Amino acid sequence: MFPIKDNIPCRTTPVMNYAVIVITSAAFLMQLAEPAGGPSLVEEYGMIPSRITDPSKEVTVVVEQGYVMTPLGPQLQQVTREAAPAAVPAILTMVTCVFLHGGWMHFLGNMWFLHIFGDNVEDRLGHVGYLAFYLVGGALASLVHLLSEPGSTVPTIGASGAIAAVMGAYFVWYPHAHIKAIVPIFIVLYPIVLPAAVFLGIWFLIQFFQGAASISGTQAAGVAWWAHVGGFGAGYLIAGLLGRTHAVRETNPARRADVDSLPSIRFRRPR
């Protein structure tokens, strides 16, 4: 499922959410401009778990790779070098990694989810509170990934964990919001409206079961699923401690009508 919009208007301009998107975009453009083969921002600012748990462990990166023919058939050969040292204390990379991404789809998908869900959470927390929440959520998501793979030498990057924290808070504060989403059914993209609690609940379960599969070995590594799970859980708990909001005030009839005009799944609100 891919979200298109929600029906909850903001009372204030989400300037901090925009600022996070701009800063993350600037960091991604810097990544694109890096020369191939040299030290990268991912090496310097990405979170490499072993740098925190075992600083003496050597970290290498692949510079070149390809297949060569041998008497036993094609064999993968790699040229590696020692990774560039972290540009900040290793513990801080749990936060700096949030601003880096691994490609266009990774970057665009994350920024779109942040655009959809971040504005209302900022509206609830205020500008400064939202920034603190975003950074803490990202750090806690990194911590959960660190605990799941403490000896890994693979850099962890991406805003997904911090955005998952935002989604966890949205789940608590706006459970009855309506999310307009696109659901792929075979080759057709089908638009539908779901309560936020259902949309986010399904998203969380997907992350959880993918994470479980990665631990069991039935799912190939490559995505930090437990960072997503940890971020969502952190956001849920923090929002719960700050106070639950059961009712959603929908003060923009045009926006509500636009979302509600599609097929929807609805649940009765508790009295």
54: three-class secondary structure by DSSP? coil
pLDDT in tens, 158-210: 999 999 999 999 999 999 999 999 988 888 888 999 999 999 999 999 999 99
CATH classification of the domain holding 30 = 1.20.1540.10
Range of the domain at 187: 2-55+86-260
Please report the pLDDT score of residue 71 as a whole number.
67
pLDDT in tens, 39-84: 789 999 999 999 999 888 878 766 555 666 666 667 666 566 788 8
Residue 222, sorted as left (phi over 0), alpha (psi -120 to 50) or beta, turns out to be left
- The answer to whether residue 60 sits within a structural domain is no
Residue 1 has, within 13 A of its CA and on its CB side, a CA count of 21
- The answer to whether residue 65 sits within a structural domain is no
- The answer to whether residue 45 sits within a structural domain is yes
Please report the pLDDT score of residue 138 as a whole number.
98
Is residue 208 a contact partner of residue 6, using CB atoms and an 8 Å limit?
A: no
Considering only residues 68 and 153, tell me which one the structure prediction assigns the higher pLDDT: 153
Please report the pLDDT score of residue 159 as a whole number.
96
- The answer to whether residue 267 sits within a structural domain is no
Report the number of distinct structural domains present in the chain: 1
Whole-angstrom CA distances from 156 to 46, 83, 98, 141, 160 are 6, 14, 9, 11, 11
Catalogue the E-assigned strands of the chain. 2-6, 60-70, 73-82, 178-185, 188-195
- The answer to whether residue 244 sits within a structural domain is yes
- The answer to whether residue 212 sits within a structural domain is yes
- The answer to whether residue 78 sits within a structural domain is no
In which band, very low, low, confident or very high, does the pLDDT at 85 lie, cut at 50, 70 and 90? Answer: confident
Q: Is the pLDDT of residue 93 over 70?
A: yes
Q: What is residue 55's DSSP assignment? A: T
pLDDT in tens, 201-257: 999 999 999 988 887 665 555 788 999 999 999 999 999 999 865 444 544 554 554
- The answer to whether residue 180 sits within a structural domain is yes
- The C-alpha R_g of the chain, in whole angstroms, comes to 20
